[in-house]
């Protein structure tokens, strides 16, 4: 639902961009793009395809160009809004664009720390020549688990703030 000026909220603009992507993918497939070549499991090389009577290739190409242009314009406006809109995160103001980059980094951190938690939860016991060699984990489990919990808390806090901004920030774009 656009705001009073007819602009889209950021979350609506993102979904509209996804819709444009789906249209572009479909139309490219109809025109013989890459996605149409991957479509069928069982294809007969001896088979020819002809356009159906009501399929107008020129009209489809024009429609594709329009959707591609609309997608580019919409994406530029989304990017502009992402750079202009500020959110509060860990005591400072950052743009949504920066927050999205921080989110990527936090997702990587969470995976790395989760792996570290897994390794820190067990000692390795190596059975060698009738004796056991015990290797303690490199990191303490409790400390590593606390780091993990802190990372996912920070990630959730950031994602929540970005989500809230997506529902209040507007993109100057009107879908024709």
109: left (phi over 0), alpha (psi -120 to 50) or beta: alpha
The verdict on residue 45 lying in a domain is no
Q: What is the mean pLDDT of residues 157-173?
A: 95
The verdict on residue 86 lying in a domain is yes
Q: State residue 36's pLDDT score.
A: 47
Q: What is the mean pLDDT of residues 122-132?
A: 75
The verdict on residue 154 lying in a domain is yes
Residue that wins the pLDDT comparison between 10 and 39? 10
CA distance 170 to 10: 5
Residue that wins the pLDDT comparison between 174 and 37? 174
Answer whether 24's CB lies under 8 Å from 71's CB. yes
Q: State residue 175's pLDDT score.
A: 73
For 71, the token pair is 């997608």
Q: State residue 174's pLDDT score.
A: 80
The verdict on residue 47 lying in a domain is no
Q: Per-residue pLDDT tens for 60-86?
A: 999 999 999 999 999 999 999 999 999
Residue that wins the pLDDT comparison between 170 and 40? 170
The verdict on residue 164 lying in a domain is yes
For 115, the token pair is 């792996």
The verdict on residue 176 lying in a domain is no
Q: Per-residue pLDDT tens for 52-62?
A: 888 888 999 99
For 88, the token pair is 């509060």
For 170, the token pair is 């507007």
Domain count within the chain: 1
Domain assignment of residue 106, given as a range: 8-39+55-171
pLDDT surpassing 70 at residue 43: no
Strands 8-9 and 86-89: unpaired
Confidence of residue 119 (pLDDT cuts 50, 70, 90): confident
The verdict on residue 129 lying in a domain is yes
Confidence of residue 35 (pLDDT cuts 50, 70, 90): very low
CA distance 67 to 23: 7
The verdict on residue 151 lying in a domain is yes
**What share of the chain in percent tops pLDDT 90?**
62
User: Which residue spans within 39-151 are E strands per DSSP?
Assistant: 86-89, 92-95, 124-128, 131-135
CA distance 71 to 50: 30
């Amino acid at each position: 639902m656009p705001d009073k000026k007819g602009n889209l909220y950021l979350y609506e603009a993102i979904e509209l961009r996804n819709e444009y992507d789906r249209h572009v993918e479909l139309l490219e497939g109809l025109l013989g793009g890459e996605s149409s070549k991957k479509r069928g499991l069982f294809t007969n090389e001896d088979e020819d395809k002809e356009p159906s009577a009501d399929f107008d290739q020129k009209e489809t190409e024009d429609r594709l160009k329009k959707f591609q242009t609309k997608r580019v314009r919409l994406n530029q406006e989304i990017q502009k809004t992402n750079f202009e809109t500020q959110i509060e995160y860990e005591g400072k103001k950052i743009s949504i664009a920066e927050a999205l980059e921080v989110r990527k980094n936090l997702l990587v951190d969470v995976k790395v720390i989760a792996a570290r938690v897994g390794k820190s939860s067990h000692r390795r016991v190596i059975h060698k020549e009738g004796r056991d060699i015990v290797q303690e984990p490199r990191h303490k489990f409790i400390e590593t688990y606390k780091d993990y919990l802190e990372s996912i808390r920070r990630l959730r806090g950031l994602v929540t703030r970005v989500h809230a901004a997506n529902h209040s920030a507007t993109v100057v774009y009107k879908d024709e």
